[in-house]
Amino acid sequence: MTQPKHIHQVDYIRAIACVGVTLFHLGGKSLPGLKYAWLWIYMFFLLSGFIICKAIPKNYIWRMAPTFIAKRVSRIEPPYILSIALVLLLNLIYTRLGYLQEIKPDWPNLLGHLAYLNNFNGNNYVNPVYWTLGIEFQFYLFVALAFPLVNSKWGAYFLLALSIVSYFVHLPWSTMLPMFPVFALGMLYFLYSSKQIKPLLALLISLPIIYISCFNSGWRETCTALFALLLLALPLKANGIIKFFSTISFSLYLTHDTIGSNLVVYMGQSLPKTLPFKALEFGTGIIVSIVFAWVFYLAVEAPFLKLSKRIVYS
């Protein structure tokens, strides 16, 4: 089997989205220019709609669903669980050093983390970025069951129909459903880029989906997702810096708040409240977050990424 051609546009989306979210958590409260940087997470949602479908074999049938889930779980779950352990370890260290009051672990809540049940029961995650992983996991379950329909000649109409359903149906236990139109735009671009639908049909189907997304998620969120769609359509070339941040994007996403945000808070409590020191706190937080994410990628994420690739469809 030949290796699929690398899609440089995906690197740009991952790099921009992960850096944007990192900047928000490290400085969004104190720097007005970063107030809306959290919106870049919607680029990840649209990208998932495209890239997950792109990675699935064309002959996918329902009996392949366990393999698909196994590949996603082996890719995502181990780094995610180890990042949870990192949060608990640092909380323990901060408690011993006297920076935090002792907090006893909420074991039922932590168990809910493992299967992303906190997205269903409304409990808080120990790291504020984890809620998006719960949405992504719900999307994986949807794709495992529905990809044969998405990949059919009726796929575009199926995506439109489900987007309409997402507007009228509100399920308190599903956090993915309101955001489905954003994922649908990514899946629609997959159908267009793989020449399963013509450009005119892609445009006609995308317009009502965009309209519904504005109602479900908001116009800012939808415009951010559309920026990712624009990047997918542009003839972007390889870039070393972009490739680096794309490579560590998941590790940076998992660890930046635990490492960088806590460092910024600690430095803010210890240093004078002046602009130069604020800049020092922010810059140090960013650099340390990036370096730690790179180490986390090499030590934790990369081995499980290789494991995921060894799981093959039969």
User: Domain extents for the chain?
Assistant: 8-310
The pLDDT of 126-142, averaged and rounded, is: 93
Kindly indicate the confidence band of residue 34, based on its pLDDT and cuts at 50, 70 and 90: confident
Residue percentage of the chain with pLDDT more than 70: 96
d(CA 303, CA 305): 5
Kindly indicate the confidence band of residue 292, based on its pLDDT and cuts at 50, 70 and 90: very high
pLDDT at 228: 98
Sign of CA dihedral 293, 298, 299, 303: positive
pLDDT at 1: 43
Mean pLDDT, all residues of the chain? 92
Task: Name the one residue in this structure whose structure tokens are 């181990």.
Answer: 78
pLDDT of 282 higher than 60: yes
Phi-psi region of 31 (alpha: psi -120 to 50; beta: other; left: phi over 0): beta
Question: Do residues 161 and 123 touch, judged by C-beta distance below 8 A?
Answer: no
pLDDT at 102: 62
Question: Do residues 100 and 91 touch, judged by C-beta distance below 8 A?
Answer: yes
pLDDT at 24: 93
**pLDDT tens readout for residues 239-265:** 999 999 999 999 999 999 999 988 888
pLDDT at 258: 92
d(CA 46, CA 280): 34
Least trusted range by pLDDT, from 13-17, 27-31, 72-76: 27-31
d(CA 293, CA 247): 10
Range of 41-50, 91-100, 121-130, 162-171 with top mean pLDDT: 41-50
pLDDT at 19: 96
pLDDT of 4 higher than 70: no
pLDDT at 60: 95
pLDDT at 9: 98
Structure tokens at 53: 């479908």
Q: Which residue has the higher pLDDT, 136 or 265?
A: 136
